[in-house]
Structures are given as C-alpha cells and as structure tokens.
Amino acid sequence: MTRPVPRITVIGTGYLGATHAICMAVLGFDVLGVDVDREKVDRLNSGEVPFFEPGLPELLTKALESGRLRFTTSFAEAGAFGDVHFICVGTPQMKDSHAADLTYVDRAVGDLAQHLHRRALVVGKSTVPVGTAARLTELVRRIAPAGEEVELAWNPEFLREGYAVDDTLRPDRLVFGTDSAWAEEQLRTVFASVIAQGSPVVVTDMTTAELVKVAANSFLATKISYINAMAEICEATGADVTGLAEALGYDDRIGGRFLKPGLGFGGGCLPKDIRAFAHRAEELGVGQAVAFLREVDGINKRRRARTVDLVRELAGGELAGARVTALGAAFKPDSDDIRDAPALDVARTLHEAGADVTVVDPVATGNARRAYPELAYSTDAIAAAAGADVVVLLTEWSQFREIDPEAMGAVVAGRRIVDGRHALDPAQWRAAGWEYRAL
C-alpha cells in the first residue's frame, strides 16, 4: 500500500518559506504558500522571486509550470488545503530589547489553527526561543476546531542565503522535534527524497529541536569571533592572522570553515539569534551559561569600529572630506540582504564622520538605497573609485577579488586600500603601488 501523499502549506514566504515552498513543489508535492503580504504573493504567483538567491527563480518557474505550486493570502484556504503546515515566518529582534519578537509566529499559528477542521500537522521552522513550541502546542489545541487531532512538531532550518536551494534539498542534517509517531511518519514522508539522498535525521523532542538551531548559530558566531579575537592579538604582536587561521583550520577537530578573519558576521540571523539566546537563557535563570555570547557580540562589533579606524588612518587621520569607495553593501556575497550588514554599518559610520562615501555592490544597492538614502551608490567599482582617497573592501564579492589593482590605481586620487575581508592578494596590490592594510 502506498502512503497517502500529504499536501503542504508553507506559512510565510520570506527567504526561508519561499525557498521551502518552491523546493517541496519541485520534489513533487502539491504546495500552497501563504503570506499576509498581497504584493509578495502576486509576485511569486507571477514567477518572480522577491529577493536575490542563485538558482531559485528557475526552480520557481519550473514549480509554477508543473501546477503543483501557488500562493495565497487566505488562511482559510490553507486550512482546507494542507495536511502538513510549515511555519516559516520571521522572528526579528525586538525594538527595545534583545528578545525575539514572536508576534508573527503567534499570529501565523493562531490564524492557521482556527481553520484546521481535520487531522493536521503544524511544523515550526522559524528560529524561536526555547520553550515556544510547548506554548504553541497549547495555542493550537485551544484554537483549532479539530482540537487534539492537530499536532505540532519542530523542524529547524539551517539554510544559508546564497546556498538556500542546496541547503534545502541536501541539508547536512534534518532535525525532527516530536514525540508523536504519526508526526514523525509525516515528516519522514515529506522529506523522503532528502533522506534517501543521504541527509542524516536526528529525531528528538521539540525543546531540543528548538535549541539545536540557536546552539548551531551561536557556535558559528563564536567561531568567527574567536578568529577575530585572534586578529586583535595578531595586530598587537605583528603576527599574521590569515596564516594562523590556515594552520588552525588544518586540524580536523577545529576545521577551517567559519574561521575567516575580517569584518565579522551580520545578516538577519547570527547577530539577532545570539542576542535572543542570551536573553532567553537569562529568563530561564541560566544566563551565566551563555554569558560569553555577549563577548562574541562585542568582538564582532569591534571589527566594524576597527575598520573605520583603519580607513581614517589611511586617510591621514581625518575622515571629514575624505573620499571613500566602499566595496560591498550586502551582509555577505551572493546575497542582496542588508539586514545588520557590517558593510553598510561601516559605510554609514564613515559618512557620519564626514567622509564622502560611495557604496558599490552588484545586487544590493536597491535595498541599501532604500534604507540609507544619504549614501551614494554604484554597481561599477572602477567608476566609483574615480578620485577616491581610500578604497575599503567590506563584502567579498568575487567581482571585487578580480579587480585589477592597476586599473583601479589609474583612477583613484591615492592608492590606499583597506581589505576588510582578507579577500585580496596583498602582494599583488602592493606590487601595484598600493598601501594595503587588512583587518
């Protein structure tokens, strides 16, 4: 007997939700994406991915053509359609504290639950403070007309921007947080082909599943800040942090990934997740256990300040009136996401100190201009560098790595560059007469 194929809804069509919905349709499921944002829904239905993600537009076209995917704003439709409902809405940082704002999660689950008239599984994917799933279980059972027939499970998501499709279809691991055999079976059915291609599955309780996500992001953030702390030591001693990182990384137990010294981490996940985790731990009375995350955050913020200092040094000690070309706006390459982008933070600080800043980015200038209209923007690094006193590399786009130091040197006012990401070859730039400084 073949197992019935569950129909899937994905609530929240931001980065995570849109990718998940599209990939599930590509895997052969009938999928309904749900979002309160009518414009986003219309764009997705017409085949347009509202953000930059390599490979995703092609898959959206394919999924829409197959007839297995569409998007709606109606929770009633979602309740009637789906057997398995993934909650993929955002949990941003609160405006007035480090806590995670759960408004969107609570609203999505509440709005969906009132339309659940038959047996269904609600699966949380959003990054939430530990303990949220237990609270949502109560909420769902209270609100859903089908009551106890509706179950909740937790399935944290580990996708990275820029690799979202691959991370969804070929994740390093799947985590299923549930103590229900039926829920586990539903999840195994939904992820059957992902499991078949080799991703290991960890089945655990919901609380652990919630915790895995924040623990993983905290570890990654800590690793980055660790090497950046070593960079501070290197700077004080004259040691070379790139050589240090390489030598550390060859140790399998340490590993070279996320051990790249530079301007540090940003984005919509790592910074807010470590803060929310520290905040939640304090609420639970175990704040001391992760007090080091405050230090991780502090080291990371110091990187931005240090980059500004280096530009000031190269500008002759004074930023007012200096012409600076800032290479990068996105929080990392292959993304147009500017949430908590270290690059834009540095560019803005330089501008506030009186520098005349032009920001260059291949895809993120639209988002950056909307957020910071006071800065000048360009997509052409050489054109933007005309007359510059200092060039500073802030996001390591491959386009920037390939810049010819001679070509750029021909247009600048002074050959001075700060490499905020250890992305350039110092020997090559120095040979072309540049004063090269790295973090």
Q: Cite the active site residues.
A: 269
Q: How far is the CB of 304 from ligand UGA (least distance, A)?
A: 11
Q: How far is the CB of 413 from ligand UGA (least distance, A)?
A: 29
- Is 20 among the residues that bind ligand UGA (CB under 6 A)? no
Q: Which of 11, 21, 206, 220 binds ligand UGA (CB under 6 A)?
A: 220
- Is 159 among the residues that bind ligand UGA (CB under 6 A)? yes
Q: Which of 37, 158, 248, 378 binds ligand UGA (CB under 6 A)?
A: 158
Q: How far is the CB of 224 from ligand UGA (least distance, A)?
A: 4
Q: How far is the CB of 270 from ligand UGA (least distance, A)?
A: 5
Binding segment for ligand UGA among 34-42, 61-69, 153-161, 360-368 (CB under 6 A)? 153-161
> Measured from the CB atom, is 296 or 391 closer to ligand UGA?
296
Q: How far is the CB of 421 from ligand UGA (least distance, A)?
A: 8
Binding segment for ligand UGA among 63-71, 263-271, 282-290, 423-431 (CB under 6 A)? 263-271
Residue 359, strand partner residues: 326, 377
- Is 127 among the residues that bind ligand UGA (CB under 6 A)? yes
Q: To which residue do tokens 């996001």 refer? A: 395
> Measured from the CB atom, is 70 or 260 closer to ligand UGA?
260
Residues 269-328 interacting with ligand UGA (rule: CB under 6 A): 269-270
> Measured from the CB atom, is 82 or 328 closer to ligand UGA?
328
Binding segment for ligand UGA among 6-14, 101-109, 231-239, 252-260 (CB under 6 A)? 252-260
Q: How far is the CB of 157 from ligand UGA (least distance, A)?
A: 6
- Is 161 among the residues that bind ligand UGA (CB under 6 A)? yes
Separation of alpha carbons 287 and 191, rounded Å: 36
- Is 51 among the residues that bind ligand UGA (CB under 6 A)? no
- Is 52 among the residues that bind ligand UGA (CB under 6 A)? no
Binding site for ligand UGA (CB under 6 A): 127, 157-161, 217, 220, 224, 258-260, 262, 264-267, 269-270, 331-332
